[in-house]
Amino acid sequence: MILAFDTYYYDTKAKTIAVSFNDWQDEEPLHIYSEIIEGVSDYESGAFYKRELPCILSLLNKINIEEINAIIIDGYTMLEENKLGLGGHLYEKFDQKIPIIGVAKSQYQSNTSNYKTLLRGGSVRPLYISAIGIDLKEAYNHIKTMHGDFRMPTLLQLVDTKTKEKNN
């Protein structure tokens, strides 16, 4: 099983969504997981993981970890040489056993390597693909071949959309 995560922040809350699927080309998720938590940390540039990692870990408590083959996060695995991003910290939490692929919509200023740019669906704005625990080229190809005709693959767009739906 592959999981894709995203979190949306509002007021003092964070809504985290994960979709599960089996194949990189799947159009529909197997399951959609959702959780809203209170009291999230403020955003800290260069330390985004402090805000989002607890949200992802909390939602992962609802999922059988043994079934996970890979996780996709909205962000980077490495920010720069020897500085872990959100995906890198998640990888460390699982004792480097679950490959993590980062799909970021914008470039992190000081990151001059550790990623590949991907143009999908005729978009002129790239996605920034990073990886840890899996070869970067392989991770890039997985995201490139995901279902969908637009910049964001169908299932990653679904995760993003679901995070912004109104819930209490």
Q: How many helices (H) and strands (E) does the chain have?
A: 4, 9
pLDDT band at 57 (very low <50, low <70, confident <90, very high): very high
Query: Which domains does the chain carry?
Result: 2-164 (3.30.2170.10)
Average pLDDT, the chain: 92
Contact 106, 116 (CB under 8 A): no
- Tens of pLDDT, residue by residue over 124-164, are 999 999 999 999 999 999 999 999 999 999 999 999 999 99
pLDDT band at 111 (very low <50, low <70, confident <90, very high): low
Helices 86-93 and 49-60, packing angle to 10 deg: 40
> What is the C-alpha separation between 13 and 136, in angstroms, rounded?
33
- Tens of pLDDT, residue by residue over 65-106, are 999 999 999 999 988 778 899 999 999 999 999 999 999 998
Q: What is the model's pLDDT at position 112? A: 60
Q: What is the model's pLDDT at position 43? A: 78
pLDDT band at 109 (very low <50, low <70, confident <90, very high): low
